[in-house]
Amino acid sequence: MSAILRSALTCPACGATKIETMPTDACQFFYECGGCKTLLRPKPGDCCVFCSYGTVPCPPIQLGGRANCGHS
């Protein structure tokens, strides 16, 4: 099984959406919104910004759940 590597991140502050390529070897903990410059961080219990604000969870979660995530 292969992971989906692109996810649309939506800023909770301004609603701006941008499609980004997710890293395959790490969780992305910070993301700066291109619209309002808000610095996004994961919601409590999530390992990265893609799991919190993206349309697709990060590759480690897709391929094996929290056990594969470096921040579980």
Residue 1 C-beta-side C-alpha neighbours within 13 Å:
8
Write down the pLDDT at residue 14.
98
Report percent pLDDT > 90 for the chain.
Answer: 65
Find the angle CA(17)-CA(70)-CA(23) to the nearest 5 degrees.
Answer: 40
- Give the start-end residues of each E strand in the chain: 6-10, 17-21, 31-32, 39-40
Confidence grade of residue 72 (pLDDT, cut at 50, 70, 90): very low
For 24-39, the pLDDT digits (tens) are: 877 899 999 999 999 9
Report the largest interatomic distance among the alpha carbons of the chain, rounded to a whole angstrom: 36
